[in-house]
Chains A and B, each alone.
Chain A
Amino acid sequence: MINTKKMSVPSLLFLLAAGTIIAAHFQLIDLYVQTVIMFIGVNIILSSSFNIINGYMGEFACGHAGFMAVGAYVTSVLNIMFFTNSKTFGQAIFAPELALYFFPVTMFIGGVAAAITGLLVAVPSFKTRDDYLAIITLAANFIIVSLFINMDVIGGARGFMGMKQIVFAMEDVAYIPWMLIWVFTFTYFTVFVIRRFVTSTYGKGIIAIHQDEIAAEIMSVNTNKMKLVAFMLSSGLAGLAGGLFAHILGYINPNSFGILKSTECLVMVYLGGMGSLSGSIIAAVIFTLLIEGLRFIIPAADTLLHLMPIIPDTFHLSQVLKWVIIPLILVILMQFRPEGLMGNRELSDFFPKLKKYYEFK
């Protein structure tokens, strides 16, 4: 007998993903919408992986974008080096068609590289806690970005490009929206991995560290090892987000992985709620839609207000307002829900009836 409860979520997600991919393939949704959907995926990976540290483990790390950068650069450089002819790395080493099959491999290597970079903050976290650790993560973010700025081989501050060619190479094999497929796959993978981790007795060790580190250590939790695992898992998954991000845009620049990006990650985690996986996902969706939505709302509001005439002709509402409105919404939201949207609860805690229909483990 097929366990319907167990299969309900995966199959629903599968249908949703397949539907989107088919719609994209037959150009029922345009490229812009596809990009937004892909960014939602990337942001889900970022926020849920960051939640491991900032939510479940309760540390205040603030340099997530640094690890994303490592993943983005490593994956991109490997792909460009192996599968395209480029000025920097010369002739392709393998046939470009192989890019499709090796994409998960290079993504994985990027993730591993990011996880190893995670050691940069994981090892100090054994001794350092709280705001001092926050600084170490912040400094790590600055250091990683400035390392990439100083690597002229891969473009330095000008950035690194050519990843569209990889996407084209994949499309040469079969003309379907590959990136969309990869984003769905890796997003599902991330959420799946995190879910399995934090619901296991092993993974709950990090929640124990959050609530009382001394008790955790005395009750046989190897706190140093748990921190190592948590930081590496979190930064490794951020690396995956970076790899996807690079191939969606086709172009990366060290400065796009700076503090502002890390701030976005922080916002999503705390908006969703510390230690709530569904919160992270919901927050990532809302946040992305808000950013993209304001892109249209602001010019519309501008026209409207000029028609009304409420604001002077010389003044125009600019897109910059986006970064006033979003923080403002958050500030106001936090006044009403000072524990984030979901607190540390999951969707099924709010709607216990849902439990009848699914079991996601």
Chain B
Amino acid sequence: MSLLEIKSLTQQFGGLTAVSEFSTRFEGRELMGLIGPNGAGKTTVFNIVSGFYKPTKGKILFKGKQIDGLKPHRVTAMGIARTFQNIRLWHDMTLLDNILISQHYNLGYNLFDLFTRNRRYMENEKRMTSIAMELLEQLNLVQFKDEKPRNLPYGIQRKIEIARALSVKPDLLLLDEPAAGLNSSDVQDLIQLIRWIHNEFDIAIWMIEHQMAVVMSLCSWIQVIDFGKTIAEGTPDEIQNNPDVIKAYLGDDNI
């Protein structure tokens, strides 16, 4: 059974077809890339997979179960986490709270336990805190645990968002332009980080990225979409030499 299987996914908004007949498959713990020019429908694919849109047509199977049409929080609970192009952290909460709240999928207590603060509540809060602290330690973020994300440098915010996504113990991590807005030394750190996460957490990663250096050095398989359609897929080498891809990115004349 493959981890994720997307079959001929189509999304229409009114008359506009944002994604058409998109298919892909994650067999195991691959690191794949999704690239394409601006407005090609990459983020729409992520939005469908993570449950924000119900696809017009098509099927998404995750660990053999159908997930299209599920609410985002259910999809996340099943093991797909994501980050956003424009960082979406809870900027007025501490870093620790940012990670803790992401444990909502696995609270382990109900409102009654909460109000009575019984042993179940205490144990589960302790468990969640230790999960969060462990994660922060792994990612070297512990020193920021009481800081609010808005006061931290942009590069750290990116890292925090990835950490937050990891805190739901996903099997598949969707990264939406993780290198956007980073300077070149931050980008090098990010490449290291993603590679390390991929090995250390043993998870599948699917990323949208415009910076070819990132995609080409990390991904083992890349899909290219333009105007919602898949125009090419293959290994980084194949993609780099594919005339259709070059055409989509640079236009006809430049060849």
Contacts and interface: CB of A to CB of B under 8 A. Distances in A.
Contact of B100 (A201, A217, A218): A201
A119 to B, nearest CB: 16
B188 to A, nearest CB: 27
Given A217-B71, A218-B76, A219-B76, A202 B104 contact: yes
Interface in B139-175: 164-165, 168
A215 B93 CA distance: 13
Interface in B89-147: 89-93, 97, 100-107, 109, 111, 114-115, 117, 121, 125, 128
A186 B101 CA distance: 29
Contacts of B84: 214-215
A117 to B, nearest CB: 19
Nearest to B88: A215
Contacts of B57: none
Contacts of B125: 200-201
Interface size range of chain B in the complex: 35 or more
B203 interface: no
A23 B151 CA distance: 51
Nearest to B82: A218
A186 to B, nearest CB: 15
B72 interface: yes
A193 B115 contact: yes
A204 B73 contact: no
Interface-central residue, A205, A214, A219, by most chain B CB under 10 Å: A219
Given A196-B117, A219-B168, A221-B73, A207 B103 contact: no
Contact of A201 (B107, B111, B117): B107
B94 to A, nearest CB: 10
Nearest to B165: A219
B121 A211 contact: no
Contacts of A220: 73, 76-77, 102-106, 168
B11 interface: no
Contact of B88 (A200, A202, A214, A361): A214
Contacts of A224: 71
B104 A221 contact: yes
Nearest to B91: A211
Contacts of B103: 201, 220
Given A202-B109, A203-B114, A212 B89 contact: yes
Nearest to A193: B115
Interface string A199-234: 011111101100110111111111110000100000
A217 B73 CA distance: 5
A231 B174 CA distance: 33
B223 interface: no
A89 interface: no
A203 B102 CA distance: 12
A202 B103 CA distance: 9
A180 to B, nearest CB: 25
B21 to A, nearest CB: 26
Contacts of A218: 50, 72-73, 76, 81-82, 88
Given A202-B109, A219-B76, A219-B104, A207 B114 contact: no
A344 interface: yes
20 contacts: A200-B125, A201-B101, A201-B128, A202-B114, A208-B101, A211-B92, A212-B88, A212-B91, A214-B88, A215-B88, A216-B90, A218-B50, A219-B81, A220-B77, A220-B103, A220-B106, A221-B73, A222-B73, A222-B104, A224-B71
Interface of B: 50, 52, 71-73, 76-77, 81-82, 84, 88-93, 97, 100-107, 109, 111, 114-115, 117, 121, 125, 128, 164-165, 168
| 3 nearest CB pairs, A to B | A220-B105, A215-B88, A219-B102
